[in-house]
Amino acid sequence: MSPRTEQQWAEMRLNASEKIISAALDVFKQKGFHRASMEEIAKQAEVSKGLAYNYFRSKEHLLAAVMERRFNEAEALIEGIDQISGARNRLATILDRLFDAVKKDTMLYKFYLTVFLQPDAPATIRRIGKTSEKIRSQWARIFEVHRAIFSELGVTDPESEVIYFRSLTTGIVAEYVMEPRNYPLEKMKAHVLHMYGMEKGGGD
C-alpha cells in the first residue's frame, strides 16, 4: 500500500474538521452552546475528544467555525443574484431563498438567533481573528447587494433601508422559528414584497 500524498492528508484533515463542525452544530441545536460539551461533540462526530481539541482549541473556536458556516450560507442567498434582471425580482429571489432555508431547517435558524442574542457571543466570535475578518467581508458584500437593490428601486436612503429590511426579515424569521406551525410565513413574504411594489400583497 503506497503512502498517502499531501493532498490526501489535507482532504482527510478537511473531512475530519467538517465532521466535527457538523457534530457541534447538531449538539448546539439540541442543547444550546453553553450546555454543550466538547466530549458530547466528539462523541457525535465519532472521534476522540483529543482529536476534536487538535482541530479546535476550545468550544468557542468551534462556535466561530459554526458561525463562519452560517455566513457562508447567508452569502449563498445572494449568489448569482446580479444575473437576475430587475431589482424587485432580485429582492423576491432573496426572500424566497431565505424563507425556504428557514423552513428547511427551522431548528438551525432558531439556534443562530439564540447565539446572536447571547451577550457574550459577538465578543467570542471577534476573538477568533481570522473568522471575524471573513465574516466582516461577507457581511459587507451582502450589505452592498441589498443597498444596490434599494438604490435601483429609488429609495432615498438605501443604506438605512438595508438596515430596516434586515431588521424586518430577522423579526419575521424569529417569529416563525418560535411557532412554525401557526406563523403565516408566506403571507408575510407577500406583504414584504407588496411593500416594495410587487403586485401580490399580504392582506387578510
Q: Indicate whether 157 and 110 sit together in one domain.
A: yes
The whole-number pLDDT of residue 115 equals 75
Both 21 and 118 in a single domain? no
| Domain residue limits at 15 | 1-56
pLDDT of residue 2: 54
Give the closest residue to 21 by CA, choosing from 59, 73, 75.
59
State yes or no: pLDDT of 88 exceeds 60. Answer: yes
Between CA 46 and CA 48 the distance in angstroms is 7
Among candidate residues 9, 34, 56, the one where a domain is terminated: 56
Burial call 133-148: b when 16+ CB within 10 Å, e when fewer: ebbeebeeebeebbbb
* 38-70 pLDDT tens trace: 999 999 999 899 989 998 988 888 888 887 777
Under 8 Å CB-to-CB from 22, ≥6 apart: which residues? 45
pLDDT at 29 over 50: yes
Hey, what's the cell of 128? 477568533
Q: For the chain, give the mean pLDDT.
A: 82
Assign 199 a pLDDT band (cuts: 50, 70, 90): low
